[in-house]
Amino acid sequence: MRKTTRYPVQGPNPLWQMYRTVSFWKVVKNFIVIQLARYTPFPSWKNWMYRTFLRMEVGQETAVALMVMMDTMFPELIKIGKNSVIGYNTTILAHEYLVEEYRLGEVRIGDRVLIGANSTILPGVTIGDGAIVAAGTVVHKDVAPGSFVGGNPMRVIRAGEPEEK
């Protein structure tokens, strides 16, 4: 099970009343920064933008590819380790609005992780150090360190092996 916190709502669905859960101006600022970062060709500039304006934790030498879409409402819940690669057009979500509740969950991506293009990372998951996520995968549960996973639904293709120290 993903590690999310559930918040029930009364009345219309939570997306209809989203600005009761997050500031409109925060979403506007985040959207602008994320859109600029999506097209920025230099990983160091992207990482600076994520750290400075979105309060995300992004490790040294992490490369976020073109068109990656970070969560626009709660990007501060995304933590990415060092020397990882986030592939083209990946989406990383830290929230989900459902019909009668919304959920928030921290996303933790370890060191030396490879996320393939067009993947979706759902809220509340941890991807362990050295893991590989195949292109097009929907990551709906934790990924063990060193594992190779892929597909929708995600399945383990190769289990992780203990790291040598």
- Please report the pLDDT score of residue 162 as a whole number: 61
Give me the tens of pLDDT residue by residue for the chain, a chain 165 residues long. Answer: 689 999 999 999 999 999 999 999 999 999 999 999 999 999 999 999 999 999 999 999 999 999 999 999 999 999 999 999 999 999 999 999 999 999 999 999 999 999 999 999 999 999 999 999 999 999 999 999 999 999 999 999 999 876 555
Task: Using a cut of 0.85, tell me whether the model's pTM lies above it.
Answer: yes
The burial of 85, by beta-carbon neighbours within 10 Å (0-12 exposed, 13-18 middle, 19 or more buried), is given as: middle
What local confidence, expressed as pLDDT, does residue 42 receive? 96
90: tokens are: 């990946």
pLDDT at 7: 96
Q: For the chain, which domains are there?
A: 5-155 (2.160.10.10)
Residues forming a β-bridge with 104: 5, 95
- pLDDT for the residue 161: 74
Q: Which residues contact 108 (CB under 8 A, 6 or more apart)?
A: 79, 125, 126, 127
pLDDT at position 160, please? 84
One-character DSSP codes across 119-147: -EE-TT-EE-TT-EE-TT-EE-S-B-TT-
- Written as six digits, the tokens of 76 are 């501060």
Q: Are 97 and 114 in contact (CB under 8 A)?
A: no
**Dihedral (Cα; 13, 15, 4, 51), 10-degree rounding:** -170
User: Which pLDDT score is estimated for 163?
Assistant: 59
Catalytically active residues are 95
Distance from C-alpha of 43 to C-alpha of 99, rounded to nearest angstrom: 37
